[in-house]
C-alpha cells in the first residue's frame, strides 16, 4: 500500500510508503492520503495525527515521472487544502522538498532529524507551488525568508530550519517519528475540547482559504511550463540537483 494508517493509543500515524520513489506522490497516493486524513478526522479513538515518510526521505513531492496529479478541492496532493479538526505533526527524516515541504507545512508542528533537508526544489523545473506552500510558508518563517526559499529553491538544512521557525524540534537521525509520537502524547494528555477550539481560533483568524484561491489561480496558469519541466525530469535531467535549469 502506498499509504498506511496506524494507531498508537490516542495517536494516528499516516505513512507514505513509496521509498522506491522517494515517497513522491502520484494520483493513487494522493487519493490514499485524502482517505487517510478523512479517516483520522472521523476517528474518535485518536486525538493527534502524525505524517511520516518511510525510509530515508520524508517526501520528494509530486511524482514528476507519473505527473498524473489532478486538481482537487482538497489539493493536488489529496489533502493539502483539507482542514482537519485535530492537531497534526510532521515527522521528517531526510529530504522534505517541493510538495513534501507543502505537506509538512500543512501540519501544525514539525519534528525533523538533524540531517533533514527542506526546500522548494520544484523551482528548478518550473513547477508551481499549488498545495498551500505560498500561503503557509510566509506565515511560518516570515515573508522575507519565505521569498528566499521560494525564489531560489535552495536547500535549507535542519539547523537553519529550526533557527527560522520552519521546524519546532530537531532530533538525531532516525528519531523523528519517536519524538513526534512523544510530542503528540503530550498534546493528547490535555483536555481536547480547548486544544481543538484554540487551534480552530488560530486557523480561522488566518483566513487561508482566500489565499489558497489566489495560489491556485496563479499556479494553474503555469501548468504548461510545469509539464515541460516534468518531462525533462522524467528523461533524467537534473537528478540529484545536477544540471538544473535556471529559467523556464
Query: Which pLDDT does position 133 carry in this prediction?
Result: 96
Count up the domains in the chain and report the number.
1
Q: Please indicate, yes or no, if residue 180 is contained in any of the structural domains.
A: no
DSSP single-letter state for residue 36: H
Q: What are φ and ψ of residue 127, in 5° steps?
A: -90, 130
* Percent of the chain that is helix, strand, coil (3-state, to 5): 45, 15, 40
Query: Which pLDDT does position 223 carry in this prediction?
Result: 64
pTM of the model: 0.90
Q: Please indicate, yes or no, if residue 241 is contained in any of the structural domains.
A: no
Report mean pLDDT in 10-residue bins for the chain, 248 residues: 94 97 95 98 98 96 85 94 98 98 98 98 89 96 98 98 98 98 98 98 92 80 60 58 40
d(CA 34, CA 82): 8
For 16, 44, 90, 106, 118, the CA distances from 60, given in Å and listed in that order, are: 11, 31, 14, 15, 10
Query: Which pLDDT does position 246 carry in this prediction?
Result: 35
Query: Which pLDDT does position 85 carry in this prediction?
Result: 98
Q: Please indicate, yes or no, if residue 68 is contained in any of the structural domains.
A: yes
Q: Please indicate, yes or no, if residue 185 is contained in any of the structural domains.
A: no
Query: Which pLDDT does position 238 carry in this prediction?
Result: 57
Query: Which pLDDT does position 248 carry in this prediction?
Result: 34
Query: Which pLDDT does position 242 carry in this prediction?
Result: 47
**Residue 98, Ramachandran bin (φ over 0: left; ψ between -120 and 50: alpha; else beta):** left
Q: Please indicate, yes or no, if residue 81 is contained in any of the structural domains.
A: yes
Structural domain span for residue 86: 3-173
Q: Are strands 11-16 and 48-53 parallel, antiparallel or unpaired?
A: parallel
| CA torsion, ordered 198, 200, 201, 203, to nearest 10 deg | 130
Instruction: Give me the CATH number covering residue 89.
Output: 3.90.226.10
Q: Please indicate, yes or no, if residue 151 is contained in any of the structural domains.
A: yes
Residue for grid cell 482538497: 74
Q: Please indicate, yes or no, if residue 21 is contained in any of the structural domains.
A: yes
Q: Please indicate, yes or no, if residue 211 is contained in any of the structural domains.
A: no
Amino acid at each position: 500500500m502506498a499509504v498506511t494508517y496506524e494507531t498508537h493509543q490516542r495517536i494516528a500515524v499516516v505513512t507514505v510508503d513509496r521509498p522506491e520513489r522517494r515517497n513522491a506522490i502520484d494520483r493513487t497516493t494522493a487519493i490514499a492520503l485524502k482517505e487517510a486524513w478523512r479517516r483520522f478526522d472521523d476517528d474518535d479513538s485518536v486525538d493527534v495525527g502524525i505524517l511520516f515518510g518511510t525510509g530515508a526521505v520524508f517526501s520528494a513531492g509530486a511524482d514528476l515521472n507519473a505527473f498524473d496529479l489532478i486538481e482537487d478541492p482538497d489539493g493536488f496532493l489529496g489533502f493539502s487544502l483539507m482542514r482537519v479538526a485535530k492537531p497534526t505533526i510532521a515527522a521528517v527524516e531526510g529530504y522534505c522538498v517541493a510538495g513534501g515541504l507543502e505537506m509538512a507545512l500543512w501540519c501544525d508542528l514539525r519534528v525533523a532529524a538533524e540531517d533533514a533537508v527542506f526546500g522548494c526544489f520544484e523551482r528548478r523545473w518550473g513547477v508551481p507551488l499549488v498545495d498551500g506552500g505560498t500561503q503557509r510558508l510566509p506565515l511560518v518563517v516570515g515573508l522575507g525568508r519565505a521569498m528566499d526559499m521560494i525564489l531560489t529553491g535552495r536547500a535549507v538544512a535542519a539547523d537553519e530550519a529550526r533557527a527560522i521557525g520552519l521546524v519546532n524540534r530537531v532530533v538525531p537521525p532516525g528519531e523523528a517519528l519517536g519524538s513526534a509520537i512523544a510530542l503528540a502524547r503530550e498534546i493528547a494528555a490535555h483536555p481536547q475540547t480547548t486544544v481543538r477550539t484554540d487551534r480552530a481560533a488560530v486557523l480561522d483568524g488566518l483566513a487561508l482559504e482566500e489565499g489558497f484561491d489566489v495560489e491556485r489561480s496563479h499556479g494553474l496558469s503555469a501548468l504548461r511550463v510545469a509539464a515541460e519541466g516534468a518531462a525533462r525530469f522524467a528523461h533524467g535531467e537534473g537528478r540529484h540537483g545536477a544540471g538544473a535549469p535556471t529559467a523556464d
